[in-house]
Amino acid sequence: MVTIDCKSCTNIHCFIHKNLSPEWIKNYVKFQIPFKQGQNIIVEGSPVLGIYFIQSGKVKVFFTGINGKHQIVRFANDGHLLGHRGIGNDVYPISAVAMEDSTICFIDNETLNEMFLSNPKFTFDMMMFYSRELRKMENRMKNIAQMNVREKVADTLLLLVENFGMNSESEIDVSFNREDIANTAGTNVEQVTRQLSDFTTEGLIVKQGKKIAIANMDGLRKIISQHNPQIITQ
């Protein structure tokens, strides 16, 4: 793997860079690794070597369940952390795969511990990050437990928009397939197709080739509104 000096990382959204001074970056962030679309960044069950964060790119994070069925637990993009579930554990409980070509930075365990010990503010921010993630995850658990398929698919579309945004044509700005939606919503490809078809006839979305464009954001929000009185923002 090619590694280059990370001081070139200038992404202002990056969690690490937002919370550390330039000299810290220079000292501690040594590896910056390019990943191709579809390539594994983290494989569940492999030993925890450190923590990753995304300089640029788009990533899905998932468990592998029974007979290989994936359960996507979250999406991540520029500046987000990966592998933080591994902290305090010996192996990663989840896998992470690049949804598009991505550049990932890496900090090894030892360096990370040193950062925690010598920079309490960083530890505090990290704690708050976990707190937010926990709250989001609990909310998603409730959704998956109580929503029907229609609502879960709508919820997944909104999750994708929230994470990756839309381009100038209102298309969700990431490449994904029906299976990704199914694995996020907790259903199967056929149901996703049917629901997307329904949403199209209802004028909520517009399918153009492989891309999905959102035509009526509020319409989608309305579908899940009885479960989520207010949309949770990051």
Residues that bind a copy of itself (CB under 8 A): 63, 65-66, 69, 71, 73, 84-85, 87-89, 93-94, 116-117, 120, 123-124, 126-128, 130-135, 137-142, 144-146, 186, 226-227
Give me the DSSP letters along the chain: -----GGG---TT-HHHHHS-HHHHHHH--EEEEE-TT-EEE-TTSB--EEEEEEE--EEEEEE-GGG-EEEEEEE-TT-EESGGGTTSSB-SSEEEESS-EEEEEEEHHHHHHHHHH-HHHHHHHHHHHHHHHHHHHHHHHHHHH--HHHHHHHHHHHHHHHH-B-TTSBBSS---HHHHHHHHTS-HHHHHHHHHHHHHTTSEEEETTEEEES-HHHHHHHHTTT-SSPPP-
- 64 forms part of the interface with DNA (CB under 7 A): no
Tokens of 150: 């229609």
Q: Which one of DNA, a copy of itself, none interacts with residue 3, CB within 5 to 8 A by kind?
A: none
- Residue 101 or 179: which CB sits closer to DNA? 179
- 202 forms part of the interface with DNA (CB under 7 A): no
- Cβ proximity of 153 and 193 under 8 Å: no
Tokens of 129: 């990050």
Among 18, 26, 210, 222, binds DNA (CB under 7 A): 210
- Residue 27 or 64: which CB sits closer to DNA? 64
Q: Which one of a copy of itself, DNA, none interacts with residue 133, CB within 5 to 8 A by kind?
A: a copy of itself
Q: Which one of DNA, a copy of itself, none interacts with residue 191, CB within 5 to 8 A by kind?
A: DNA
- 101 forms part of the interface with DNA (CB under 7 A): no
Q: Which one of DNA, a copy of itself, none interacts with residue 178, CB within 5 to 8 A by kind?
A: DNA
- 144 forms part of the interface with DNA (CB under 7 A): no
- Residue 138 or 198: which CB sits closer to DNA? 198
Among 190, 202, 226, 232, binds DNA (CB under 7 A): 190
Give the residues lining the site for DNA (CB under 7 A): 148-150, 177-179, 186-191, 193-194, 196-197, 207, 209-210
